Structure 1
Amino acid sequence: MATTAPANRAVPPYEKLRAAGIRVTAGNDGIRDTWSPYGNADMLQRAMLMGLKYRWRQDRELDQALHAITRGGAEVMGLADYGLAEGCQADLVLLDARVPAEAIVEPPRDRTVFKAGILVADRGECLF
């Protein structure tokens, strides 16, 4: 199940679906298009929008949004080599945040990004 957590539409019952063993992810379906000028492909922003839509306030609730934009997406796509373990793809984003909830409610812009173990962005600056 996937959601964009739209402001003006109903959303899937995230917690009930997860409790039933259904994989749930979040994503962007458009980036500043005819339907919404707010899309920018930033998954941390999508997590924030999920938190607002689902009325999540506590850190443990916001952790669900983080799961949806990370592991949830990998689960829905059937990625076997996802995560922070030996043998995984080494795709990761490093950010300056003390806890996951802080990264969601106040997404830092200066991110360091690795794709397949190669540094592609350093503190918000694209290297390619």
Structure 2
Amino acid sequence: MDLLSLAYTSWASPGFRPDELDEIMRQSHTNNPLDGITGLLAFNGAAFLQIIEGAETAVLDLEERLQRDPRHCSLVVRDRRTVDKRAFPGWSMGLMRITSGRFEGQSELMKALERDTAPPVRELILAMMRSIPFDEPMSEAG
């Protein structure tokens, strides 16, 4: 069965509170199994990196909801592809909190993903982490 995998990055909206991340995870663990969505969310206190996967219509519907979610802004789709199998089959939504600098964060993320994630997906995650300054929050213009 062909599945759609979508990867994006975004920034936490000004005023984002830690309890909002908990709410995101509660919603994901409730809704994603119903929609057949699996994935990974990485957050460093300022930036999000997320990969979602599932049936095309479910992923596109979730993408639309994410675009409207006021808890984050500047959402940029980094990768969209059809895949044969899930990279995160057992995760309704895994959470990776990155609390150290970029290099250490990449190392922590790789350790967490080594067993269950295909090498191309790991490389995508690392490329995405290198493409945004995970250790320096972006300031919003105007």
TM-score, normalised on structure 1?
0.28
Structure showing the higher helix proportion among its residues:
2
Q: Where is the strand percentage greater, Structure 1 or Structure 2?
A: 2
Structure 1 or 2, whichever has the larger Rg, is: 1
